[in-house]
Structure 1
Amino acid sequence: MSNISKTFAKVKQEGRIAFMPFVVAGDPTPEVSLSVIKRLVAGADLLELGFPYSDPLADGPTIQSADMRALSAGMTTKKVFELVQAIRTFSNIPITVLVYANLVYQQGIDEFYRRAKEAGIDGVLVPDVPVEEAKPFMKSAKAHRIDPIFLVAQTTTPERLKKILKHAKGFLYLVSVLGVTGARTDFSDTTTQFISSIRAQTTLPCAVGFGIKTREQALMFGKAGADGAIVGSAIVDIVAKLGDSQEITEYTKQFSALNSPFVKGSPPG
Structure 2
Amino acid sequence: MTTDPRPTEISLSPQTPTEFPSPLPIVTTTTYATPASSPTRPTRTDWGRIAIFGIPYAAFFLVGVPTWIFPASWSLTAINLAIDTVLLIVVLAFFAREFFPAFSYLRTHPFLKILLLFGLWILVVIVQAATRIALYGGNPPVAENQQQVINALNDGTLGLAFSFFVTVGVPLVEEMFYRHILIGKLSAYAPTWLVASISATLFAYMHSHQWQDFFSYLPLSIVLTLIYVKSGKNVAYSWLFHALNNTIMVALMFTMQGALQNA
Check whether TM > 0.5. no
Normalising by structure 2, report the TM-score. 0.28
Normalising by structure 1, report the TM-score. 0.28
From the two aligned structures, give the one with the greater helix fraction. 2
Which one has the largest radius of gyration?
A: 2
